[in-house]
Structure 1
């Protein structure tokens, strides 16, 4: 049986949503000199890279990318970051993922950063689904969707051809 794909966002729409989220990040960090964009591997980090590029165009904020690695099937395991905790201590951090499904990945990512004193902590996602298992929300989101539990959202980041589809 072939799965029917419904395009939610095309490349242009993703670029627009990315720019809007970047402006929101800048507005909420206007008094900061730098901001840490912590992207959850793999797609969250790719989204963070795109946000960093837009922030460089629209603001004087210095953006520092941080890759957050975790086993999404076993989030209780170790969460690792490409930066040592001392690099983001007392700074503004935005935890970024491509899709917020049940909230599991985001909540364990948040938990990791709460072990370090931060100046400000926010979350950003491109697609926010309304099936949360945990009381976690995205502070910045591109689009919110009400979908059935048996549907999934897949975001693909390809240079010049980013897409988000509902499967």
Structure 2
């Protein structure tokens, strides 16, 4: 007997990812360039899925970036990511639990003085 709980089945995940891609497009439809940043590991997988769908529905130049963070001590870690100052960013993670990881990522991304910074979370 398994103690796991299925939050979303495969069909529901696919529908949700497609909807999230359209929501990202709605938020960034005026962008020339969009930098989609996926928090490693599962957030990056979700970001890949979103970028694949965004490229089918828009002509925005999209660049995908992995964001590797020590989720236990994010404040102590230097963020290794190459982003343009003043760019348009979409930060992606899979699950929002306490919100700490997403908050630390946003704080670190603010150092790039983004023109626009949106966040997307699957669950």
TM over 0.5: yes
Please identify which structure carries the higher helix content: 2
Listed as ranges, the matches of 1:15-30 within 5 Å are 15-30=14-29
SS of corresponding position for 1:25: helix
Listed as ranges, the matches of 1:6-17 within 5 Å are 6-17=5-16
2:76, 2:102 → 1: CA distance? 14
Please identify which structure carries the higher strand content: 1
Structure 2: where are the runs of 5+ without partners? Answer: none
SS of corresponding position for 1:39: strand
CA-atom RMSD in angstroms = 1.4
Structure 1: where are the runs of 5+ without partners? Answer: 128-167
2:30, 2:52 → 1: CA distance? 19
Distance 1:31 1:102, change over 3 A: same
1:115, 1:29 → 2: CA distance? 20
User: Could you tell me the TM-score, scaled by structure 1's length?
Assistant: 0.69
Give yes or no for the alignment of 1:121 onto 2:117: yes
4+ aligned runs moved over 4 Å, structure 1: none
Shift of 1:3: 5.2
Aligned partner of 1:152 in structure 2 is none
1:119, 1:113 → 2: CA distance? 11
User: Could you tell me the TM-score, scaled by structure 2's length?
Assistant: 0.92
Whose Rg is larger?
A: 1
SS of corresponding position for 1:36: strand
1:101 alignment partner, one of 74, 97, 102: 97
2:48, 2:78 → 1: CA distance? 20
1:8, 1:122 → 2: CA distance? 24
